[in-house]
Structure 1
Amino acid sequence: FLATLALALPFGLLAQNDLVELVRSDVRTEMRAIVTLNMGLTEAESEKFWPLYDAYEQDRKGLWDRKIALLKEYAEVYEGMTNEQAQDLLGRVMKLDTEFDATRTKHIKLMEKALPATLVGRFYQIDTRLAKLMDLQLSEEIPLAIPTEEAPQKGMKE
């Protein structure tokens, strides 16, 4: 699907605004289609589920924007990254991962109040799988950091 194609492009292209917008819109469309296909909701369940899903996606939009910004920043420094840059980026990406998890937890709890636990559990499975797939696709395309020559690498054996 198109999101896979966009994420499979060379890493340097990620910084282009048109690609970023394509990824944003296409991922949301694809994820919604996958959720629709796999949830098997009745009309009554749909009336409760989709507003909750839309609120969840709205909360995640800002997180995705920050993740894309971090990836763009990483693309600028991954060759010759200093320890200070690595520490800063690592701290921010770990905080962002925690925020993604907290957002999912918050919205799962809201869904539990309106829908049967079996449906909420099914959505959790779908959403978690999609998130892991996205992370896997990104990790395949993002090169490992290349430290600067002069930066001593703590914890690394030669």
Structure 2
Amino acid sequence: MKATARILIFVILLSPATVIAGTVPEIDVEALFAEKKALVKEAMQLTEKEGAVFWPLYSDYEKIDMDIFKKRSEHIRKYVRERNGLSDKKAALMMKEYLQIEAEALDSKRAMVKKFSDHLPAKKVYQYFVMEELLEAGFFSQIGENLPVIK
């Protein structure tokens, strides 16, 4: 998927060196999501009728997804800042926060899959959510590969 490769290159340029240096870069989330939208448009190849239904739903989902993305990014920044003096108590609290973020993401995804499925063919819904998952996995794998370990 040519579109996925483009966003992964964009993401790779944003993250690894600064994570290695002990910081997580400030990410222009709006620019990242604008690039992602262009990739989705290219990859989905929607008919005019499908597009009329898809894009308003996409906009709704992206607002929620952007908020979750910001929470995940802040959680990673917090990890990088606090990893060296992390107590078991603090680690347990951070794990609870992480699971809350992930539960919110999954709940959001389930709700949006239902909304998309009410208006679009299952094949298109599946294609979109698989692509979402791959883009997200690519981004966070780049950060994860370079995250410093807890000492």
Query: Which residue in the other structure is 1:6 paired with?
Result: 14
How many angstroms does 1:113 deviate by? 0.8
| AA of the residue aligned to 1:20 | E
Identity of aligned residues (%): 21
Q: How does 1:54-93 map to 2 (within 5 A)?
A: 54-93=59-98
- Farther off after superposition, 29-38 or 106-115: 29-38
Unmatched 5+ stretches in structure 1: 147-158
Post-superposition shift, 1:135?
Answer: 2.2
Taking the aligned partners of 1:145 and 1:33, their CA distance within structure 2 comes to 37
User: What does residue 20 of structure 1 align with?
Assistant: 26
Letter in 2 for 1:53: Y
Structure 1 pair 131/21, CA: closer, same or farther in 2 (3 Å)?
closer
The count of residues paired between Structure 1 and Structure 2 equals: 141
Unaligned runs of 5+ in 2: 1-8
2:6 is matched with which residue?
Answer: none
Please point out which of 127, 134, 143 is paired with 2:139.
134
Give distance in 2, aligned partners of 1:118 and 1:80.
48
TM-score relative to the length of structure 2: 0.85
- Residue 49 of structure 1 is matched in structure 2 by 54
Instruction: Give yes or no for contact 2:23–2:77 (8 Å, CA) kept in 1.
Output: no
User: Where does 1:109-148 land on structure 2 (aligned, <5 Å)?
Assistant: 109-146=114-151
1:116 shift after superposition:
1.1
Which residue is 1:150 aligned to? none
1:73 CA drift (Å): 1.4
AA of the residue aligned to 2:101: L
> Larger Rg: 1 or 2?
1
TM-score (norm 1): 0.81
Verify the 8 A CA contact 2:14 2:27 in the aligned structure 1: no
RMSD: 1.5
CA distance in 2, matches of 1:87, 1:142: 19
CA distance in 1 between counterparts of 2:62 and 2:17 reads: 25
- Say which structure, 1 or 2, has more relative contact order (CA 8 Å, 6+ apart): 2
1:107 corresponds to which of 84, 97, 112: 112
Give the C-alpha shift of residue 26 in structure 1.
Answer: 3.1
Task: Please state how far the C-alpha of 1:61 moved relative to its aligned partner.
Answer: 1.9
